[in-house]
Amino acid sequence: MSAALAANHQAELAAVLDEGERRAWRRALVLIISAIVVGTAFVYGGVLDTQRYADALPTILTLLGDSLPPDFSRWQSWGVPLLDTLTMSTVGTVLGALLALPLGALAARGVGPASIRTPVLMLLNTLRSIPGLVWGILFVAAVGFGPLPGILALACHSTGMLGKFCAEILEHVDPAPGAALRSQGVSAIGVLRFSVWPQILPRLLDVTLYRWEHNVRAATTLGVIGAGGLGLELVTAFHLFEYREALALILVVLALVTIINLAGAKLRARLLGTFNT
Amino acid sequence: MIHIDHVSVQRGAHEVLHDISADIPSGGITAVVGPSGVGKTTLLATLNGLLRPSSGAITIDGVGMLDSGETLRGFRRQTATVFQEHALIDRLPAMDNVLLGLADQRHPLSPLPWSRPMRLRAAQALDEVGLLHRATARTSQLSGGERQRVGVARALVRQPRLLLGDEPFASVDPALIRQLGNTLRDMVARSGATVILVMHQMETALSLADKVIALAEGRIAFDGTPRQFDRCCQETVFKTIPRGALS
Ligand SMILES: Nc1ncnc2c1ncn2[C@@H]1O[C@H](COP(=O)(O)OP(=O)(O)O)[C@@H](O)[C@H]1O
Ligand SMILES: [Mg+2]
């Protein structure tokens, strides 16, 4: 840039630089305030109170000692609970994802009008701020024991979560390929199918698979309130001070989560690898 | 023939094109030149109905382009556009992006994969831009020039009646520009297609085009043959614009 040009724009240049500085300061301030708030929470939560930790390690070690070696002797009676947990998590995830797609679309900026967007966003917020356990208690009361209340509880919470993700993913869709399709006479449905869908599919799949794994763990917890599954076994074992059996059950859940993860990765590679080509 | 009749186009708050009129003959190549930011991309977007004129009209063979949704759809089905920013889907293989050029020729809800004839056409289009060996590469892994050629292939695969190209050769090698220029010439000779190219390499524009339209300050500064442009107007029309600034 020539000196003459720079001289002409002194004031403008200064304004741009000043604005940059103002923004940097504002960011720093936000950072400092956040650090203070989080620090206070550390103190309030007792995380830094060393005395509380004095007995912790020995107790944990004792408990660990009591639960070794894991006791798998009752494995025959775990089949049905295992199946229940798997059913709850899988069906709950799929149901949640199916509901999340249309709701997420309605909640996305730039898709529907604000008069629809706002209530749908509120619905999604409500669905996910009510804890899964509360949904579980509600549905056990409503439809009775077994996997069904677990499925419905997981589906509710998953819809809230996946719907929000889905809306955000849709907001990040690049509109240019869609415009290119419209400019060659492709209908709105065609734009959804050929531009939006391939753009959102990988991320939707990612969050859904992550949610599936989450739901396996959540389904275990739901056993506690009568939705069946491995959770009930686990809590019973604890109540009976059968720590060795409890550890065995925890290992089973761990194995299940690992298998789900591997299956999810395979599924993802399959679906994305063959998509559209 | 495309008839641009007193067309003005708004972009955001301000008017970019002011009261433009021009005729673009069928079966030929028209080059649109002018400095950066003058409204060349805006003009192309108006020609395929992505932007609407604030006043004036565009008629194609006597029919108003925006007369009805059906006429617009009809024109668009015969049109192909190469976008300046490519407008490709990054995560798809190059081949799939080319296939999108045929998306209006299949049912949007059909779960079937692209048919073999369609895939053959897409592969041939990729071959024409010298990218057949990159057919299965993710578009995000291609270079800028390669991505641009994928965009060109997506337009060529349509075998369009009207091809709109927004600086389609901006980052393509000279040898390939000559080859693609011949491809377009062949297309015009074979099927009588109409080609409108926004270009920034003046030499290419003048050697390839049958007609040149130069924009300056949102108006038409020149409208004629390349020879007329070469003889009289490069200096007179553009004397205020340094030659390097033409883009
Ligand atoms: N989406 C937009 N919103 C508002 N103004 C725009 C937009 N796109 C382009 N413009 C403005 O319109 C003018 C013409 O742009 P464009 O048609 O892209 O020019 P060219 O293709 O000739 O370089 C420019 O001043 C540009 O800043
Ligand atoms: Mg442009």
Compute the mean pLDDT over every residue in chain A, rounded to the nearest whole number.
86
With cut-offs at 50, 70 and 90, classify the pLDDT of residue A82. confident
How far apart are the C-alpha atoms of A255 and A252, rounded to whole Å?
5
What separation in Å is there between the alpha carbon of B39 and the centre of ligand 2?
7
Q: Give the start-to-end residue ranges of the domains of chain B.
A: 1-78+161-242, 88-159
At residue A113, does pLDDT exceed 90? no
Secondary structure (3-state) at A108:
coil
Name the helix (H) or strand (E) containing B21.
strand B14-24
A180, A187, A277 ranked by CB distance to B81: nearest: A180
Give the model's pLDDT for residue A177: 96
Residues A85 and A231: beta-carbon distance below 8 Å:
yes
Compute the mean pLDDT over every residue in chain B, rounded to the nearest whole number.
89
Interface probe with A: pick from B47, B70, B82, B92, most Cβ of A within 10 Å: B92
pLDDT tens-digit map of A7-23: 667 888 888 888 889 99
A181, A187, A189 ranked by CB distance to B100: nearest: A181
Which numbered ligand comes closest to the C-alpha of B84?
Answer: 2
Residues B201 and B33: beta-carbon distance below 8 Å:
no
Residues A107 and A162: beta-carbon distance below 8 Å:
no
A176, A184, A193 ranked by CB distance to B158: nearest: A184
End-to-end CA distance of chain A: 49
How far apart are the C-alpha atoms of B156 and B81, rounded to whole Å?
9
Work out the average pLDDT over A131-154: 87
Long-range CB pairs of B105-113, under 8 A, 24+ apart, other chains included: B108/A186, B108/A187, B108/A189, B108/A190, B108/A192, B108/A193, B108/A194, B109/A189, B109/A193, B113/A276, B113/A277
With cut-offs at 50, 70 and 90, classify the pLDDT of residue B245. very low
With cut-offs at 50, 70 and 90, classify the pLDDT of residue A142. confident
pLDDT tens-digit map of A205-215: 889 988 998 89
Q: Could you give the strand order of the β-sheet that contains B14-24, starting from the edge strand earlier in sequence?
A: B14-24, B2-11, B55-60, B63-64
Give the model's pLDDT for residue A268: 80
Q: Establish how many alpha carbons lie within 13 A of residue B178's alpha carbon, considering only the half-sphere containing its beta carbon.
A: 2
Dig out the tokens for A257 from the structure.
């989560």
With cut-offs at 50, 70 and 90, classify the pLDDT of residue B242. very low
pTM above 0.90, yes or no: no
Distances (CA, A) of B96 to A190, A192, A247, B102: 15, 16, 50, 10
A241 or A177: which carries more pLDDT confidence? Answer: A177
Helix then strand then coil, % of chain B, to nearest 5: 40, 25, 35
Cβ separation of B108 and A277 shorter than 8 Å? no
Q: Establish how many alpha carbons lie within 13 A of residue A190's alpha carbon, considering only the half-sphere containing its beta carbon.
A: 19
Residues of A in contact with B136 (CB under 8 A): 277
Burial B121-158 (b: 16+ CB within 10 A, else e): bbbebbebbbbeebbeeebeebeeebbbbbbbbbbbbb
At residue B243, does pLDDT exceed 90? no
| Protein residues with CB under 6 Å of any ligand 1 atom | B 11-12, 16, 34, 36-42
pLDDT tens-digit map of A27-38: 999 999 999 999
Secondary structure (3-state) at B25:
coil
Whether residue B242 is preceded by a cis peptide bond, meaning omega within 30 degrees of 0, is: no
Instruction: Give the closest residue (by CA) to ligand 1 atom 1.
Output: B11
pLDDT tens-digit map of B116-153: 999 999 999 999 999 999 999 999 999 988 999 999 99
Residues A78 and A138: beta-carbon distance below 8 Å:
no
DSSP string, B104-152: GGS-TT--SPPPHHHHHHHHHHHHHTT-GGGTTSBGGGS-HHHHHHHHH
For chain B, state the CA radius of gyration. 18
- Which of A39-48, A180-189, B124-133, B198-207 bottoms out in mean pLDDT, i.e. has the lowest? B198-207
Secondary structure (3-state) at B165:
strand
Query: Which of B149-158, B177-186, B204-213, B234-243 reaches the highest mean pLDDT?
Result: B149-158
Distances (CA, A) of B115 to A200, B97, B121: 24, 15, 10
pLDDT tens-digit map of B14-33: 999 999 999 999 999 999 99
Give the model's pLDDT for residue A83: 86
Beta strand B194-198 with B162-166 is parallel
- Tell me what ipTM this predicted complex has: 0.89
Dig out the tokens for A149 from the structure.
């209340």
Contacts of B169 (CB under 8 A, 6+ apart): B148, B177, B180, B199, B201, B204
Give the minimum alpha-carbon distance from B97 to chain A in angstroms, rounded to a whole number. Answer: 9
Query: Going by CATH, does the domain composed of B1-78+161-242 fall within 3.40.50.300?
Result: yes
At residue B234, does pLDDT exceed 80? no
Give the minimum alpha-carbon distance from B104 to chain A in angstroms, rounded to a whole number. Answer: 5
Residues of A in contact with B77 (CB under 8 A): 184-185
Place of tokens 């761990």: A254
Give the model's pLDDT for residue A276: 45
Give the model's pLDDT for residue B195: 95
Work out the average pLDDT over A72-98: 87
At residue B240, does pLDDT exceed 70? no
Residues B155 and B81: beta-carbon distance below 8 Å:
yes
Give the model's pLDDT for residue B86: 92
Helix then strand then coil, % of chain A, to nearest 5: 85, 0, 15
Distances (CA, A) of A258 to A212, A213, B53: 12, 9, 58
Dig out the tokens for A103 from the structure.
């709701």
Single-letter code of the amino acid located at B178? R
Residues B114 and B133: beta-carbon distance below 8 Å:
no
For chain A, state the CA radius of gyration. 26
At residue B237, does pLDDT exceed 90? no
Secondary structure (3-state) at A256:
helix
Give the model's pLDDT for residue B247: 42
Residues of B in contact with A276 (CB under 8 A): 92, 96, 99, 113-114
Residue in chain B closest to A188 (alpha carbons) equals B108
pLDDT tens-digit map of B42-56: 999 999 999 999 999
Give the model's pLDDT for residue B102: 96
Give the minimum alpha-carbon distance from B39 to chain A in angstroms, rounded to a whole number. Answer: 18
With cut-offs at 50, 70 and 90, classify the pLDDT of residue B99. very high
Cβ separation of B108 and A179 shorter than 8 Å? no
pLDDT tens-digit map of B171-195: 888 888 888 899 899 999 999 999 9
How far apart are the C-alpha atoms of B31 and B42, rounded to whole Å?
15
pLDDT tens-digit map of B50-81: 999 999 999 998 899 998 888 999 999 999 99
Give the model's pLDDT for residue B129: 92
Give the model's pLDDT for residue A71: 80
Q: Work out the percent of chain A whose per-residue pLDDT is above 70.
A: 95
B212: which strand partners? B31, B224
